[in-house]
Structure 1
Amino acid sequence: MTGGTRTFADAREWVRTGTTLLLDAVAGLDEAGFGAPSALPEWTRKHLAAHVAANADALCNLVHWAATGEETPMYASPQERSAGIARGMALPAEELRSWVTASARALDEGLDRLTDEQWQHEVVTAQGRTVPATELPWMRAREVCVHAVDLGTGAVTFADLPTGFLTALVDEIGTRRGLTELPDGPLPEVAAWLAGRPHSLADAPTLGPWL
């Protein structure tokens, strides 16, 4: 097991599920739809879609690193991450949707090409963590699954995400937040609370956003 509650195969499946949910959620958005507020404070759906597309491109850099041994950071500079969002904000709706779709496909194809040996090669995340390439699917699964909900279209909620993914998410965020006890409640609501998203748990303390 990896992370206590997930396997490599789990993470790869959750990437596929989350990507489908995300692409379905943006499929019908026109310019007004993309310009509407997301569930994240001060971010429109356009901000969020651009962030997810840029994340796929950045993870493709780590796939290249794992495949070739050539050191290729996720982002060339701290400013590049913000630049990707700014780029997406300037795109018409159809072009932004195409970027989200094409970047997700390119990442999926890159992951598929990695050999058993290359999956074990170490890369460095944007946060400076050194991890084996086997962590890349989990990193992407978190992005597509959680942000599919964050788009706020109403088509996807935490209850629509795979149970195994939610369990792994709760395990990871709870550990990183240093929490030893969690409130009682349905798993999707606990996951939403831990991630700093809207939830229905009564009397749960407010947590800042995660991811």
Structure 2
Amino acid sequence: MAADRTRADSLRWMAQGSKTFAAALAALPDDRLDQPTALAGWTGKHLLAHVAANADALVNLAHWARTGEETPMYSSPQQRDRDIDAGARRPVAELRAWATLSSETLQARLAELDEQQWRRQVRTAQGRTVPANEIPWMRAREVMVHAVDLGAGLGFDDLPADFLAALLDDIVAKRSAAGDGPALTLAATDHPGSWAVSGVGDATRVTATLAGLTAYLSGRPALAVSRTGDEPVPELPRWL
């Protein structure tokens, strides 16, 4: 967990993000969920199934934290993908109800954890071993970013600035650890922070608002992102 990101922060962002996602979803008519999203190969129903299944998967980690019984998020990456595809074929009303119930269940299960259980080590879908303290952050990230992906008119600039800064820290750390993309230096026009991404070649300086930088680093379309010179900003490998 980042030194300046507390569990209280993550729980607050998870609650805010859950409300933001629910509001964005409520704004979409059922037929819009059959349409493609900005995520390649996914309709709105795929996205909704993913967000609902993610909450169920994090409930598994909450159970692991509470009982000590190893309970993976998913039985396998392949099963995760099959579950999303199957979920996307369910009626929209069922998907909406699933998304609501799974979100409420996750919040209830996390509220049951005591301090010792919050510190218990669990394993993410990517195979990282982390304390259960990370579960609210993992969920906040999902609901905030995917609220934008739903295409209901919400943008990264509608998300809380402190969440965006924490998300940018998180993505920078992951991309730097992977080291498979271009080296970057990032400067926000509306925030005092600056970031450096370790990677291939000489670092390219990229400038944008905090929201623009976060959208760019997460692989989403970003407005008003610029670099020194006339060339476009570098393309990035997949984030998650």
Is the TM value for this pair above 0.5? yes
Structure 1, residues 63-87: CA drift from partner, whole Å, max 9, x if none?
A: 0000001110111223220122122
Runs (4+) of structure 1 moved beyond 6 Å?
A: none
Partner-residue secondary structure (3-state), 1:177: helix
- Report the 3-state secondary structure (helix = DSSP H, G, I; strand = E; otherwise coil) of the residue aligned with 2:146: helix
Q: What is the match of residue 235 of structure 2?
A: 206
Q: Take 2:144 and 2:237, find their aligned partners in 1: how far apart are those partners?
A: 19
Answer 1 or 2: which has greater helix percent. 1
Q: Which amino acid aligns with 2:139?
A: R
CA distance in 1: counterparts of 2:109 and 2:133, whole angstroms: 13
Question: Any stretches of 5+ residues in structure 1 without a counterpart?
Answer: none
Percent identity of paired positions between Structure 1 and Structure 2 = 51
1:123-142 equivalences under 5 Å are 123-142=122-141
- The aligned amino acid for 1:195 is S
Question: Residue 208 of structure 2 aligns with which residue?
Answer: 185
Name the CA distance, whole Å, in 1 between partners of 2:6 and 2:49.
Answer: 29
Counterparts of 1:124 and 1:48 in 2: how far apart (Å)?
Answer: 23
RMSD: 1.3
Deviation of 1:107 after TM superposition, in Å, equals: 0.4
2-side partners of 1:88 and 1:81: how far apart? Answer: 10
- Report how far residue 180 of structure 1 moved: 5.2
Q: Amino acid of the residue matched to residue 204 of structure 1?
A: V
TM-score, scaled to structure 1 = 0.94
Q: Secondary structure at the match of 2:208?
A: coil
Partners of 2:27 and 2:152 within 8 A in 1: no
Alignment map for 1:160-175 (pairs within 5 Å): 160-175=158-173
Q: Which amino acid aligns with 1:90?
A: R
- Show CA shifts across 1:4-36 (max 9, x none): 442111111000111111111112433311111
**Contact 1:5–1:171 (8 Å) recurs in 2:** no
Distance 2:118 2:210 in 1: 31
Higher strand share: 2
Distance 1:93 1:28, change over 3 A: farther
Task: State the SS of the aligned residue for 2:82.
Answer: helix
> Is contact 1:59–1:107 with CA below 8 Å preserved after alignment?
yes
Q: Which amino acid aligns with 1:75?
A: Y
Which residues of 2 match residues 69-108 of structure 1 at below 5 A? 69-108=68-107
**Greater Rg over alpha carbons, structure:** 2
Equivalent runs, 1:12-91 vs 2, <5 Å: 12-91=11-90
State the alpha-carbon separation in 2 of the partners of residues 24 and 54 from structure 1. 19
Contact 1:30 1:93 in 2 (8 A): no
- Taking the aligned partners of 2:39 and 2:4, their CA distance within structure 1 comes to 27
